Amino acid sequence: MTSIKVIGIGPGGTEQVTRAAVVALNEVDVFLVADKGGAKRDLVAAREEICARWITGDYRLVEVPDPERGPDAERDAAAYGRGVTDWHRARTERYRAIIAAEPDLTYGFLVWGDPAFYDSTLRIVDALAADLTISCEVVPGISAIQLLAARHRVPLNRVGRPFLVTTGRRLLEDFRDGLDVVVMLDGHLACRGLTGHGLEICWGAYLGDPREVLVRGPLDGVIDELIATRAALRERHGWVMDTYLLRPEPG
């Protein structure tokens, strides 16, 4: 039987890895790591650093070229859904071929942040289980959501009230006045469409990484700075991984 461990490794840096994750890391024979190429090569390097820091035994790290995706901004909801499905299917086939060649090993997937939030790994493991005999363990990790709140020293909800976690793609549709909203996967800062609503933004990029950048203030007052900062970071590093909280301004 093939054993798979889906391990949350936190949002950045070796020190965000939990003790439970360290135990799981040391039980893996082969780590399958998506190679997104180009500027995102340092995402592979970060995983290599985590393995080198915390694993005491032998292991292999296999880089799997990630299938191409179309540009999200140019697709409507239906086309976006089909594109993600096709992307997941192509990923699954590449992983299946590797696992089928050596089925009696323990494979590990190192998930940025926590596997529960906007990550496809568990869906891919379910697809692999359709024709491979698999056992799966999921090890949660510190999420970017948690670290964002910690860095800005804020709770994510007001007393007795809910908060929403959504994506940049859905923000304008999901937003309601008075609701606290955590936004992930927003490559275009959709929050610029919510100026005039009396909101505060708590934003963080590369959370937990030495490159970490934080911005906080009234959305109307900092949005131009935030747009410029994000563009500069993308130009400098080739990619940006950021998360933010929108909430009614205090007072």
Between CA 24 and CA 137 the distance in angstroms is 9
- Give the ranges where the chain is alpha helix by DSSP (H): 19-25, 41-54, 77-101, 121-128, 144-152, 171-174, 219-237
Between CA 222 and CA 240 the distance in angstroms is 18
Q: What confidence tens digit (pLDDT) does each residue in 122-180 have?
A: 999 999 999 999 999 999 999 999 999 999 999 999 888 999 999 999 999 999 999 99
Name the one residue in this structure whose structure tokens are 């393995």. 51
pLDDT above 70 covers what percent of the chain? 94
Q: pLDDT confidence of 241, banded at 50, 70, 90?
A: very high
CA 244 to chain centre: 13
**What is the pLDDT at residue 245?**
98
pTM of the full structure: 0.89
**What is the pLDDT at residue 186?**
96
Sketch the domain layout of the chain as residue ranges. 2-139, 144-248
**What is the pLDDT at residue 35?**
83
**What is the pLDDT at residue 84?**
79
Between CA 2 and CA 99 the distance in angstroms is 8
- CATH of region 144-248: 3.30.950.10
Q: What confidence tens digit (pLDDT) does each residue in 41-82 have?
A: 778 888 999 999 999 999 999 999 888 765 554 556 667 677
Closest CA to 75 of 66, 64, 86, 61: 86
Q: What confidence tens digit (pLDDT) does each residue in 25-34 have?
A: 999 999 999 8
Q: What confidence tens digit (pLDDT) does each residue in 89-138 have?
A: 999 999 999 999 999 999 999 999 999 999 999 999 999 999 999 999 99
- Across the range 218-247, mean pLDDT stands at 96
Question: Which of helix, strand or coil describes residue 5?
Answer: strand
- Across the range 188-207, mean pLDDT stands at 97
Q: Which CATH superfamily is domain 2-139 in?
A: Tetrapyrrole methylase, N-terminal domain (3.40.1010.10)
